[in-house]
Structure 1
């Protein structure tokens, strides 16, 4: 099985750390659950929702980048899937150096054949250019993400999709825990 993965909120549970940084930045003007809800749409959406200035956006990114990878743990059981897959690739908006730092920390670099990062020059999701590039190179079977934004490009080019911890309409499969991924594999 050849899998395209989103990074934040899909492979790694980074949203709690993002939420803490945003909560601190907003000086507690918003509840953490509302911050998380807005961030799960996208960072740009949250920045607009909370009327962040360019300076605040820069501050958020610098603070988030400085957090220890310990605060950005992989989801339980996801490593089992990485081990079973023939090919794993990542498509993320996160800069390559930040992805590499986290993967290095958890010794996960060898699991991935390729990473398309936010600073690689591809248009941002939901544009399908990066997905198309990875699919042409690796003949992907499924794309896994935690937001609709992550699966729309895959749907556009005909790859099966899976939403993780998100039940928004539009995915081919849904998972709450990677422990249940074998149930999806049986259906492919």
Structure 2
């Protein structure tokens, strides 16, 4: 195989969480008396959580920290939104692991990432999962990537990070590993590779080679 290790982002890469997150944040904004279009939330979620909270704060005339507090309180009351892995993820993870590859996660999401993975019966496919914002600095800081590389003895030349946002790509490049942008939309990127569909990963990592 071309790569022995893959460090995955979670939201928008492994799991299709953005639609539910946009729905819930939209309800929070409604409760503040400031309805906003879902497409405006989605456009900013796909940049970063900070971007969407800052924009919502501007619409409501509130600091982004207050929007974040209200949103977290809403989630605490109603529970994490339902979300599922993207198509082809389960099959790819299993085949990559069976071929000797190792899967890791470096995400901004905290403890709930384990709940989502366990609920989809995917935990067994991952060697380690680390969260930014709790133990490690947030992307594009490479701290989480560097921890995984050092702890598990990963060869940087044979390690690929897969993410849907440019901050994922920059976190990978800052760690000296290869980066793959997963996005159906064309955009400027520092990534070494880009894919529109996850099925393209088979050829990218030379899974059958």
TM-score scaled to structure 1, two decimals? 0.89
In the alignment, the residues of structure 1 paired with residue 12 and residue 186 of structure 2 have an alpha-carbon distance, to the nearest angstrom, of 14
Q: Deviations over 1:112-171 (max 9, x none)?
A: 110102464211111111111112224151000010111112112221111111543211
Residue from 75, 89, 94 that aligns with 2:104: 89
What is the correspondence of 1:1-40 to structure 2 with a 5 Å cutoff? 1-27=4-30, 29-40=35-46
Deviations 1:57-87 (A, max 9, x none): 1221243464456x21100001122112211
1:164 aligns with 2:182: yes
Any unmatched runs of 5+ in structure 2? none
Matches of 2:125 and 2:204, distance apart in 1 = 20
Measure the CA separation in 2 of the matches of 1:149 and 1:158: 14
Between Structure 1 and Structure 2, how many residues are aligned?
186
Structure 1 counterpart of 2:206: 186
Query: Is residue 174 from structure 1 mapped to residue 194 from structure 2 by the alignment?
Result: yes
Bigger Cα Rg = 2
Q: Deviations over 1:38-71 (max 9, x none)?
A: 11111111111121543431221243464456x2
Contact 1:128 1:157 in 2 (8 A): yes
List runs of 5+ in structure 1 lacking aligned partners.
Answer: none
Alignment deviations for residues 67-111 of structure 1 (CA, whole Å, 9 cap, x no partner)? 456x21100001122112211110111112x11111111111111
CA distance in 1: counterparts of 2:132 and 2:142, whole angstroms: 14
TM-score normalised by structure 2 residue count? 0.81
Task: Name the Cα RMSD after superposition.
Answer: 2.1
